[in-house]
Chains A and B, each alone.
Chain A
Amino acid sequence: MKNKVFHKLLVILMLASMVLSACGGAATEAPVVTEAPVITEAPAATLAPATEAPVADKPSGKLVIWAQQANQDVWEKTVLPGFKTEYPDIEIEFVNNPPAEVANQVGLAIQGGTGVPDLAVTEYRSITALVELGGLMDMTSLIEPYQADLNATMLGYCTKDGKIYCAPWDIGPVVTFYRRDIFEAAGLASDPDSVSEMVATYEDYLATCNTIKEKTGLNCFALNKANNLGTMLENMLWQQGLGFYDAEGNVTIDAPYAVDAVKKIGSFWEADVVSDTLEWTDPWYAELNAAIDNKDTPPVATIVIAAWMGNFLKTWIAADQAGNWGVASMPAYEAGGVRASNQGGSAYFIPEGSQNPDAAKAFIEYINLNTENQVAQFVYSDYFPANKATYTDPFFEEPDPYFGDQVTRAFFADVAENIPYGYIYGQYAVTMSNNAAKALQNYALGTMSAEEALTEAADAVRLETGLP
């Protein structure tokens, strides 16, 4: 009997430690990611310094950079050799991770008080939380001479109490990509100006989608119900200068304007002109790359998304459709409204614990703030620069063969200048957009009305963030 009691006690103790260690694990473990490969650059110590300044004044030593692999590729293929010649004594070490992980792990390192990188690059959505939380180095003096050149809206996300904590690299001006061949098959004009006219508002966009569906049987774009990511909702709010919260920090996910936007999205489901394909999955890529007569995977006619998608379409999503895709303006929320919004983009930041802030600043100045170097990266990568001084480069006026020789880059630049400040990014960006997306899913699946779904989401955000 005694043995039995002891046995039970032991099991309970074991349970307690199992459950608690599971919780402890959740509080300390990094989320599920594969191990980041650490790529160490060989120091370019043998190269002779190329400039007149004495070497002793230049930053030197090890510079640990956390970024995604794609960023590293861009630097290595374009401007990094020049940087190494300019700063022969800086030894760069890259640690690659997906964008969300970069911010997450920097956040953890800041909280832990140790192990931060010297410099990091990631998406605004994640950086803005760090800007608000603190723990990033003030780089106002570095940015100030270039401030007029940088996109003011995106710089706004880097700024807190008048101090600048990140340096914008690329931005995501939103446009409508459309299939010329499908528009023609539907008996519609297919030049960019006419298409921009056809999608002047979301109501016009819906009418155009209806025509395309009637004439060709094809869907207008992908708008998944059950796992919707909420991108369309974010666009609609951002382009009006609105968002999930307001300037005073009140949660506005349940505001009348959000209800209106959700219902507007609903009109596309009701009209049955969209596919149920989830973004960033193989079937989605297939829809964007399918030939007009593909019966197994019917193509979609349009996609409203940021400029960086142009490069993705060109290189790995829809290479087969070269010449068929075109670029037009995104729809305005209401007639005469703003036809610009932002999706994604990234910036450089230096955590306060950086071991080599001088080298980090030198890297940002040379790689990111130097106009010529920024253009070189844009030519290679199509990451649309936040540095407006680049827009006057002749490269922006070159026709793009993939888009039927349309001059797309100057067009993107015009959109970029008009991006309003939307209240989408911020300290609770991830929580807010997740809850808003869930509301849209509830509405799409018919489990709740738009008002109910958004009220539930807003309440959840208020509870979790403590915001009013």
Chain B
Amino acid sequence: MAQAQKLILPVDAKASSRSLWQRIKQARWAYTFISPFYILFAIFGLYPMLLSLYLSFTRWKGVGSIEFAGLVNFGLILKDKVFWQSMTNGVILFFLYVPIMLFLALALAVILNSGRVKGFRFFRTLIFLPFITNMVAAGYAFRILLEKQNGLLNVLLKYAGLSPIPWLEDVWWARISLSLLIVWAWLGYNMVIMLAGLQTIPRDLTEAALIDGASPIQAFFRVIIPLMRPVILFCMITSTIGSFGLFTEVSTLTRGGPVNATMTPLIRIYGVAFGSYQFGYASALAYTFFALIFVLTIIQFRLNRDQE
């Protein structure tokens, strides 16, 4: 019996491996057609990821020999005030712009979706337009608008008899200015996603609520928002990652200043890699950053599940 089993097992394994191979062979055209993505991903996605994982345990200046350093880089991170400041900045920026942006995006989406707005396609395009504007150009335009002495905003404030605001010269105003730029640029994107979400909610539900005597505001908070929760969660998570991963916005508008007030983790990582040529340490920062964001995202999922 035992012998029989021994005899059967390899045959079984062989059969299953052949069937896997056969299955692959059968679907070879499908695999061929999807292969470009995986090949490109392996070269430009997977390889850099694995290489930087390896580099995070080394000291390397970009040229010359790679020196294995164990966990030294990760030890340095604990003492890296600028990196932790950049993480704190990410949290601050998140609270400064994400709630306002998502609320505005949802409100605009509901208004445009209500069917009562004439030319809603025009407005939808208008609000989405900043998203496809080049961020470098937009960043510089905001710099000029927010300039302390002759910027348009301060000139208008002066005409209104108010004192000028140090938009880019003060720690908190610089963060607010950056938030303004981000809301301006990303509102349309989030609104379109919310619009798509709204269109999956059957109209009957809100209509039924209204017939049952709910006010439109009640219907918004009691019917639409609960049903939109997955979409809002998606926008929230991408915005969280976005606020820690800001790069172009910061490098064109505030360049991380004043005194690191708008320094973000990505700007920091870039500076360490290409300012100081410390690729090992920069990779360690990148992986620490990834781990932190991963944890943050899991917490967000948990919070959402608890509410459910």
List the interface of chain A (C-beta within 8 A of B).
Answer: 8, 11-12, 15-24, 26-28, 31-32, 34, 104, 107-108, 110-111, 129, 133-135, 224-227, 276-278, 281-283, 286, 427-428, 430-431, 434, 438, 441-442, 445, 447, 456, 459-460, 463-466
Contacts and interface: CB of A to CB of B under 8 A. Distances in A.
Nearest to A456: B81
B245 A22 contact: yes
A226 B257 contact: yes
B282 interface: yes
B45 A24 contact: yes
Interface in B257-287: 257-260, 266, 269-279, 281-283, 286-287
B274 A23 contact: no
A31 B281 CA distance: 19
Interface in B203-247: 234, 237-238, 241, 245, 247
Q: Is the interface of A mostly helix, strand, loop or mixed?
A: helix
Contact of B257 (A15, A28, A441, A447): A441
B290 A466 contact: no
8 contacts: A17-B45, A24-B286, A104-B274, A111-B62, A133-B62, A283-B149, A459-B81, A464-B281
B63 A32 contact: no
A26 B276 contact: no
B153 interface: no
Contacts of B61: 133
Interface stretch (B87-95, B120-128, B162-170): B162-170
Nearest to B255: A227
A26 B301 contact: no
Contacts of B59: 466
Nearest to B274: A104
A20 B63 contact: no
Interface in B127-169: 136, 147-150, 166, 168-169
A27 B276 contact: no
Contacts of B274: 31, 104, 107-108
B289 interface: yes
B136 A283 contact: no
B150 A15 contact: no
Contacts of B40: none
> Interface centre among A32, A442, A459, by most B CB within 10 Å?
A32
Given A19-B293, A276-B148, A427-B277, 13 more contacts: A11-B237, A12-B294, A15-B237, A16-B294, A23-B286, A31-B270, A32-B136, A32-B251, A108-B274, A111-B62, A283-B148, A286-B150, A464-B80
Interface of B: 44-45, 48-49, 52, 59, 61-64, 76, 79-82, 136, 147-150, 166, 168-171, 234, 237-238, 241, 245, 247-248, 251-252, 257-260, 266, 269-279, 281-283, 286-287, 289-290, 293-294, 297-298, 301
Contacts of B234: 11
Contacts of A31: 251, 270, 274
B48 A19 contact: no
A418 B148 CA distance: 39
B258 A445 contact: yes
B276 A465 contact: yes
Of all A-B residue pairs in the complex, the 7 with the closest CB atoms, nearest first, are A23-B286, A226-B258, A226-B169, A111-B62, A283-B149, A24-B48, A431-B276
A286 B252 CA distance: 22
Contacts of A276: 148, 169
Contact of A135 (B63, B241, B248, B283): B63
A27 B273 contact: yes
Contacts of B148: 276, 278, 283
Nearest to B45: A21
Nearest to A467: B276
Contact of B49 (A20, A133, A281, A465): A20
Contacts of A15: 237, 241, 293-294, 297
A396 B127 CA distance: 59
Given A111-B63, A227-B258, A19 B241 contact: yes
Given A15-B297, A26-B273, A456-B81, A32 B248 contact: yes
B252 A445 contact: no
Nearest to B41: A17
Contacts of A34: 136
Contact of B259 (A12, A133, A441, A464): A441
A28 B48 contact: yes
Nearest to B282: A27
Contacts of B297: 12, 15
Nearest to A453: B259
B286 A441 contact: no
Contacts of B168: 226-227
A226 B293 CA distance: 30
B276 A438 contact: no
A23 B269 contact: yes
Nearest to A17: B45
Nearest to A135: B63
B137 to A, nearest CB: 9
A434 B260 CA distance: 10
A442 B252 CA distance: 22
Contacts of B266: 22-23, 26
A460 to B, nearest CB: 6
Contacts of A108: 274
